[in-house]
Structure 1
Amino acid sequence: MTDVPGEDRAPRCPFHDDARAPNGCPVSAPAAEFDPFGDGYQQDPPEYVRWAREQEPVFWSPKLGYWVVTRYDDIKAIFRDNITFSPSIALEKITPTGPEANAVLASYGFALNRTLVNEDEPAHMPRRRALMDPFTPEALAHHEPMVRALAREYVDRFIDDGRADLVDQMLWEVPLTVALHFLGVPEEDMDTLRLYSIAHTVNTWGRPKPEEQVEVAHAVGKFWQFAGKVLDKMREDPSGPGWMQYGIRKQKALPEVVTDSYLHSMMMAGIVAAHETTANATANALKLLLQHAQAWRDICEDPSLIPNAVEECLRHNGSVAAWRRLATKDVTIGGIEIAAGSKLLIVTSSANHDQHQFADADLFDIRRENASDQLTFGYGAHQCMGKNLARMEMQIFLDELTRRLPHMRLAEQRFTYVPNTSFRGPEHLHVEWNPAMNPERADPSVREARAVVRIGEPSSHAVSRAVIVDSVDACAERIVRVRLVSANGRDLPRWTAGSHIDVVCGETGVSRQYSLCGDPADRRALEIAVLRETQSRGGSAWVHDNVKPGAHWRIRGPRNHFRLDETANRLVLIAGGIGITPISAMARRARSLGIDYELHYSGRSRASMALLDEMRALHGERLFAYVSEEGTRNDFATLAVDEGTLIYACGPVRMLDALGEASASWPEDALKIEHFESKLGTLDAENEQAFEVELKDSGLVLTVPADQTLLTTLRRANVDVQSDCEEGLCGSCEVRVLAGDIDHRDVVLTKSERQSNNRMMACCSRAKGKRLVLAL
């Protein structure tokens, strides 16, 4: 039996009459009423299943005949294990068709077989590896000019009209044209292909009425024949640049892997997959952004926000609402026993709103740090291969429309969707604007692209926020305390003790991290204290030279890689010099929670110790100050550290090294440290060795060259890994290690975490030997 983590939140089902699930579990009333074809699910799937996510995360749906899974951890674990949870039913008709419709399909020779979406191992991964190269970021970059040209051409058609249905007039045809271009398919009648694609969706994931099934079957059959004819024509000359031609060439080298029937099925499935999900995703994104006027204004003013805005749109309102899997053996998911042969509807859109994974999950925040953790593209061996093509298209569409129609708004309308379990986007998206206000009428240069497209997962390093310096106070020698407020007057994001922000220092884009030292409960402002370093790398000097009330800055975050454990019995908080900034917020938080704590603060002189008076006023006898010029010094060996005590420390390297030595006699992992700087230097290829990484969840084996980081290698292979500092300081790029010895080079992991040998920082750490196995 395989256990899929559901933490300790096993559901408790109230009875619903005498209805019972196949395992004998009583069916609750909401589960009995669950209907993914109804308007409630179509309009807002995450909200429709909120009750399940919060109370009954795994439930049996009598109407559907499926187990429904709604929480992030459970769904990611299902994606991770494609042996226990087979994808074989992903393209199975969720509503069986009658004999008349089946006869129609047979008359067309319809024989859609296995594709990358629904194929089991061991057949799936060899095909995926054989056909993956055209989807790498480097290969996709060649398509960018074509996508930009199409986006501009279509906007040209309606920009002076003052009104448009973006779905009908742009968002369906452009992705379809891009899909055909990518696949190498000659452009045919767009309207016919649109009908074919919708019919395929309804046939597979919808619930067509009996009288509709025959009509749908004819459209699907014609689609199948169309795909076959195009493939036959391609075989006559497979030298073209498209993905299907690439597959035909691969067939010659790997005939057992890339078969005729496989290519035919992929031709038809590829047309749908490469365009319908992108069209729907872009329509959902524009609807969402225009409903959140400030977010729309933000990306109009700052195109660097567009890549992360795309990720947040995919998370908050993606085009893939749910997917399907088949349990191949008895298994427990979220505390519920499920028998072999059971069918699962995994509601990825619900996972994307799971509060345990995404803070304020229902909030639409285009600066969300972990937006790209969304499961809209799936995860693991069957993650969508075309995800980066979709990301690229969405970024270009948003760049084109925010430049040329920043004054666009939603028209009054009711949004409708094609009823089905899995794919969703509004059938129409009516917008309007005043053509007289089109920016390009006054400035033709507006027509030129401005945003740099990021092909691949966007780094949180690129997401910034406009703030204004509200006040500046000299709080110690060479230290200023800066209070920052939002440039738009709204509340700033919530943050927790230990958090930092990145301050973007001037036009160069150089950023430096500064810990927050204010009150986490104050949503109106963020506060930092910055020491002017004598050997400044540019950050502290820039802050001191540009810090004046009313100054406009850009920041990233807040984010927290030095998180306070609020369940600790006792805390010892240790600060040296400017290291008081995160420690002060921790002390304030411990005080508010009633945790037993003591605060130790060391400095060269009282005049150099920022926040000292404030700390004494807040913490009284819990504060112990050590002043070098007064002859007092903290003796770490005298600290009382028992099993229930955690020590948090931030300060200069010499202090942290001394703490490290003292901690040898303390309980394991009692000491938590934040560093100011990384000792990571430029990678020296002459002193490194190449190594191999096996990606267990993705089924890939990659070589990390001597002159390349693991993070770079993963990105080039189309594997999503978050990152931020890329200096081994922040912990953003942590990956799980299943086997192999790690050469740790970060300053994030504790001694015991390193010894456990089960995680590493992809930006800097390497293999000690020849091979690592990663949970990716």
Structure 2
Amino acid sequence: MSASERTAQAAGGCPFHAAGGPAAGEPAAGSPAAMAEAFDPFDGPYQLDPAEALRWSRDQLPVFYSPKLGYWVVSRYDDVKAVFRDAILFSPRNVLEPITPPCAEAREVLTRYGYAMNRTLVNEDEPAHMERRRVLSEHFLPANVEAHQAMIRRLTREKVDRFIDEGRIDLVDAMLYEIPLTVALHFLGVPEDELERLRRFSVAHAVNAFGRPTPAHQIDVAHAVGRFWQYAGGVIETMRADPDGTGWMHHTIRKNAELPAIVTDSYVHSMMMAIIVAAHETTALASAGMFKTLLTHRDAWEAICADPALIPNAVEESLRVAGSAAAWRRQTTAPTRLGGIDLPEGAKLLIVQASANQDERHFEHAEQFDIYRDNAVDHLTFGYGSHQCMGKNIGRMEMRIFLEEVSRRLPHLRLADQTFTYLPNTTFRGPEAVWVEWDPARNPERSDPQVRTASVDFAVGAPARRDIARSVRVARIVREADDVLGLTLVDARGRALPRWSAGAHVELCLGGYDRKYSLCGAPDAACYQVAILHQADGRGGSRHIHETVREGMELKLRGPHNLFRLDEGAPAYLLVAGGIGITPILAMADRLKALGRPYAIHYLGRARSSMAFLDRLEADHRGRLAVHARQDGARADLPAIVAGLPPGAQVYACGPDRMLAALEELTVGHPDGTLHVERFAGATGILDPSKETAFAVVLKDSGLTLTVAQDQTLLDAIQAAGIDLACDCREGLCGSCEVELVAGEVDHRDRVLSRAERAEGRRMMACCSRSRDGGPLTLAL
């Protein structure tokens, strides 16, 4: 029995029983316990598709013990993220230990080479980890990463020049392996020679730490790892002789001299070896997976060829679906409970990011590859928290440039017929070869030489949501009410549109205006329907649409996003709409009717002629609809309406501020979560530095302390530190930049949180809200 099995039994008997299986006897075939017992990460299903191989786990048993591996396997998004965010309870100390213990002969070989791999940034505990990380992180900040963009572009263009007229190549061999390695060595300040030798070393290191080599293969691997160790030591000595050298390793060596207690000699040697692998292997594998995935999904490939602005998000979605870090490891330092399972101290965990990245609980329609996905950047391929990959923005930059250069110069590229193979291991994942072919006679630069040098540069960091826009066509325009236009939108290329749920909105982009409108038709993939009120006192967007949009016109559209999601588990519902606020409420009413749930609609407006969809509401929701038109003297008695709420009922409201403020007052004293509102406009203006106070913010999960200047938003400060945080409106309206507040007093300036939520003091919007009176804030980031 393995140590992990003994530990599991000590925590509660048979590990299968602890994981929810039967206490005695053989588990039933096909049961979660049987699936757990049969799980083998070196077997075909996991090696072919880790996410699909663990679908049963995500659905039935998100944390289970694998006796074949000796590890507890974690498969759901929230659980994997919870492990990443607590580096003390879930220690990274076992990340680089061989998952297959080496045989005695292999250990003897390593000893002869003086192999002494110690702690690195990926496998050391606190507080040493964050002390070193803070000292060594400067080169990885977005502002400093930008300097490498021109070199990556040059290397990529030179490689494409060499094969542009060949018609058939293996992308991995032709560019995707060598360029990331060259970039990594340049970043580190290591001489750019012996690329093939380093490639063999990297493979050996991966097999040694994450693979299942046979005893005979272990000896070969040990020799390669030992030579790699000696090579790294020789490079360090050469670099020490050049005290003014540039690059991250030179910086590390100087810090070793300045702060030897923090950046130790053994640490320098271990990091030299580990980062040569980490800085290029993951990018090479992720790039190979990206091209395979995009060329398999031809619609996505053609979309980025037509609109390169989609490339940053296409990279993130590729990292979600085909990321190079399939799984990582941790070890518990105390008994704990995770995913409903009790874990003992010392339990070893295999946390499978590839599975978490396709968890339907976090990613809607997670099985679909969608380059327009608005939360693709939430993927856990880079990890999360204090141990998140420091080089993520370099990797992103390389992948974006690879994709932009190749898609621009070879839009007719296609996958060749082939069988994809992967290096068998638990952690690093990517096809070993990606054979592609094309007709050189169709190369665009043959007729237009400028295609070769035209390029798009992308800002360093996570993609901006405003760039994630698809082309749609206006199929139909109708007048829904006085000053209200109804638009029916279809995909410009005749493709299906993403499914959406009640409360979702899209953002229309035309004429320099970006405006959000709720979806109000049937939630199918054939078309979207929105209704737009001409607001004479607005900022001009609705007027522009009313005056210029015509049937057949192409527009840009972002979304759908849903920040006003309907909780379908309540016993009853009160839906309140004011004017054009009927649009999300109509979709909710349709959904509740389809579910057979009890609901009532109160529709407030100036006059019946100004109230959109009134005829449809009266036809489809008769008996549940109350119309309150002021010109008819039918004013709504909101106090009486709220007073009649059934126990446990939830209120969903969209409309003017005065109506929503009244509902907030009337629901004070009701259970938290009773009232859900969506507003029309943000409440913040341009930041005025003369009226602001700088403040400190502690990012608890990342181990960082930042200063938010007077002329800077909290969102900007977080992103400048290299922390990914989604954002959309930057007006405190949409809620996409919400962060969890651990400690501190907030000056809330958003239009998202309710009075009760603000009083609770657990959330804030990073785009507009600030510290109250300049005191420090602590965030779970």
Normalised-by-shorter TM-score class: over 0.9
In the alignment, the residues of structure 2 paired with residue 625 and residue 559 of structure 1 have an alpha-carbon distance, to the nearest angstrom, of 29
In the alignment, the residues of structure 1 paired with residue 25 and residue 228 of structure 2 have an alpha-carbon distance, to the nearest angstrom, of 45
Q: CA deviation at 1:627?
A: 2.1
Q: Does 1:422 align with 2:422?
A: no
In the alignment, the residues of structure 2 paired with residue 48 and residue 662 of structure 1 have an alpha-carbon distance, to the nearest angstrom, of 50
Q: CA deviation at 1:18?
A: 5.6
SS of residue paired to 1:715: helix
Runs of 4+ in 1 over 6 A off after TM superposition: none
Using the TM superposition, name which of 738-747 and 10-19 deviates more.
Answer: 10-19
Q: CA deviation at 1:577?
A: 1.6
Query: Counterpart in 1 of 2:264?
Result: 259
Say if 1:497 and 1:582, in contact at 8 Å, map to a contact too. yes
Q: What CA deviation, in whole Å up to 9, does each residue of 1:426-460 have, x standing for no partner?
A: 11110000000001111111123433313212232
Query: Counterpart in 1 of 2:533?
Result: 531
Query: Counterpart in 1 of 2:776?
Result: 771
* Residue type of the alignment partner of 1:670: T
Pairing of 1:47-446 with structure 2 (within 5 A)? 47-446=52-451
Query: Counterpart in 2 of 1:558?
Result: 560
Q: CA RMSD in A?
A: 1.8
In the alignment, the residues of structure 1 paired with residue 93 and residue 479 of structure 2 have an alpha-carbon distance, to the nearest angstrom, of 65
Q: CA deviation at 1:152?
A: 0.5
Pairing of 1:722-737 with structure 2 (within 5 A)? 722-737=726-741
Q: 2:743 aligns with which of 739, 744, 750?
A: 739
Q: CA deviation at 1:665?
A: 6.1
Say if 1:461 and 1:723, in contact at 8 Å, map to a contact too. no
Using the TM superposition, name which of 248-257 and 661-670 deviates more.
Answer: 661-670
Say if 1:573 and 1:583, in contact at 8 Å, map to a contact too. yes
SS of residue paired to 1:28: helix
SS of residue paired to 1:550: coil
* Residue type of the alignment partner of 2:312: P
* Residue type of the alignment partner of 1:185: V
Q: Does 1:717 align with 2:725?
A: no
SS of residue paired to 1:175: helix
Q: What CA deviation, in whole Å up to 9, does each residue of 1:348-381 have, x standing for no partner?
A: 1111111111111111111111111111111111
Query: Counterpart in 2 of 1:7?
Result: none
In the alignment, the residues of structure 2 paired with residue 200 and residue 630 of structure 1 have an alpha-carbon distance, to the nearest angstrom, of 78
* Residue type of the alignment partner of 1:525: C
Say if 1:16 and 1:27, in contact at 8 Å, map to a contact too. no
Say if 1:15 and 1:29, in contact at 8 Å, map to a contact too. no
Q: Does 1:451 align with 2:444?
A: no
Q: CA deviation at 1:668?
A: 4.7
In the alignment, the residues of structure 1 paired with residue 153 and residue 205 of structure 2 have an alpha-carbon distance, to the nearest angstrom, of 28
Q: What CA deviation, in whole Å up to 9, does each residue of 1:722-760 have, x standing for no partner?
A: 111111001111111111111111111111111110111
Q: 1:12 aligns with which of 16, 20, 31?
A: 20
Query: Counterpart in 1 of 2:521?
Result: 518
Using the TM superposition, name which of 599-608 and 741-750 deviates more.
Answer: 599-608
In the alignment, the residues of structure 1 paired with residue 120 and residue 433 of structure 2 have an alpha-carbon distance, to the nearest angstrom, of 30
Identity level (%): 56
* Residue type of the alignment partner of 1:728: G
- Total equivalences in the alignment: 760
Q: What CA deviation, in whole Å up to 9, does each residue of 1:682-741 have, x standing for no partner?
A: 111111111111111111111111111111111111111111111100111111111111
Using the TM superposition, name which of 594-603 and 64-73 deviates more.
Answer: 594-603
In the alignment, the residues of structure 2 paired with residue 217 and residue 666 of structure 1 have an alpha-carbon distance, to the nearest angstrom, of 66
Call closer, same or farther: CA 1:173–1:500 in 2, change over 3 Å.
same
In the alignment, the residues of structure 1 paired with residue 83 and residue 435 of structure 2 have an alpha-carbon distance, to the nearest angstrom, of 38
SS of residue paired to 1:563: coil
* Residue type of the alignment partner of 1:87: P
Pairing of 1:630-709 with structure 2 (within 5 A)? 630-639=632-641, 640-664=644-668, 666-709=670-713
Q: 1:599 aligns with which of 575, 578, 601?
A: 601
* Residue type of the alignment partner of 2:414: R
In the alignment, the residues of structure 2 paired with residue 648 and residue 708 of structure 1 have an alpha-carbon distance, to the nearest angstrom, of 34
Q: Does 1:462 align with 2:467?
A: yes
In the alignment, the residues of structure 1 paired with residue 389 and residue 77 of structure 2 have an alpha-carbon distance, to the nearest angstrom, of 18
Say if 1:167 and 1:427, in contact at 8 Å, map to a contact too. yes
Using the TM superposition, name which of 695-704 and 274-283 deviates more.
Answer: 695-704
Query: Counterpart in 1 of 2:4?
Result: none
SS of residue paired to 1:620: coil
In the alignment, the residues of structure 2 paired with residue 665 and residue 322 of structure 1 have an alpha-carbon distance, to the nearest angstrom, of 46
Using the TM superposition, name which of 496-505 and 545-554 deviates more.
Answer: 545-554
Using the TM superposition, name which of 527-536 and 126-135 deviates more.
Answer: 527-536
Q: What CA deviation, in whole Å up to 9, does each residue of 1:331-355 have, x standing for no partner?
A: 2222222221221111111111111
Using the TM superposition, name which of 388-397 and 542-551 deviates more.
Answer: 542-551
SS of residue paired to 2:243: coil
Q: CA deviation at 1:480?
A: 0.7
Say if 1:251 and 1:258, in contact at 8 Å, map to a contact too. yes
In the alignment, the residues of structure 1 paired with residue 640 and residue 25 of structure 2 have an alpha-carbon distance, to the nearest angstrom, of 65
* Residue type of the alignment partner of 1:629: Q
* Residue type of the alignment partner of 1:375: L
Q: 2:477 aligns with which of 472, 476, 500?
A: 472
Q: What CA deviation, in whole Å up to 9, does each residue of 1:73-110 have, x standing for no partner?
A: 11111111111111001000111212222222222221
Stretches of structure 2 lacking an aligned partner (at least 5 in a row): 1-10, 12-17
In the alignment, the residues of structure 2 paired with residue 320 and residue 124 of structure 1 have an alpha-carbon distance, to the nearest angstrom, of 21
In the alignment, the residues of structure 2 paired with residue 400 and residue 173 of structure 1 have an alpha-carbon distance, to the nearest angstrom, of 16
Call closer, same or farther: CA 1:661–1:337 in 2, change over 3 Å.
closer
Q: CA deviation at 1:575?
A: 1.5
In the alignment, the residues of structure 2 paired with residue 570 and residue 340 of structure 1 have an alpha-carbon distance, to the nearest angstrom, of 45
Query: Counterpart in 2 of 1:625?
Result: 627
Call closer, same or farther: CA 1:493–1:14 in 2, change over 3 Å.
farther
Say if 1:16 and 1:32, in contact at 8 Å, map to a contact too. no
Say if 2:32 and 2:57, in contact at 8 Å, map to a contact too. no
Call closer, same or farther: CA 1:666–1:66 in 2, change over 3 Å.
closer
In the alignment, the residues of structure 2 paired with residue 633 and residue 258 of structure 1 have an alpha-carbon distance, to the nearest angstrom, of 72
* Residue type of the alignment partner of 1:320: A
Query: Counterpart in 2 of 1:756?
Result: 760
Q: CA deviation at 1:553?
A: 0.8
Using the TM superposition, name which of 173-182 and 527-536 deviates more.
Answer: 527-536
Q: CA deviation at 1:14?
A: 4.8
In the alignment, the residues of structure 2 paired with residue 549 and residue 347 of structure 1 have an alpha-carbon distance, to the nearest angstrom, of 48
Q: CA deviation at 1:27?
A: 8.7
* Residue type of the alignment partner of 2:271: M
Query: Counterpart in 1 of 2:584?
Result: 582
Call closer, same or farther: CA 1:28–1:653 in 2, change over 3 Å.
closer
* Residue type of the alignment partner of 2:627: A
Q: What CA deviation, in whole Å up to 9, does each residue of 1:453-475 have, x standing for no partner?
A: 13212232320111111100012
In the alignment, the residues of structure 2 paired with residue 540 and residue 468 of structure 1 have an alpha-carbon distance, to the nearest angstrom, of 18
When normalised by structure 1's length, the TM-score is 0.95
* Residue type of the alignment partner of 2:93: S
Q: CA deviation at 1:556?
A: 0.4
Query: Counterpart in 2 of 1:500?
Result: 505
When normalised by structure 2's length, the TM-score is 0.95
Pairing of 1:26-45 with structure 2 (within 5 A)? 28-45=33-50
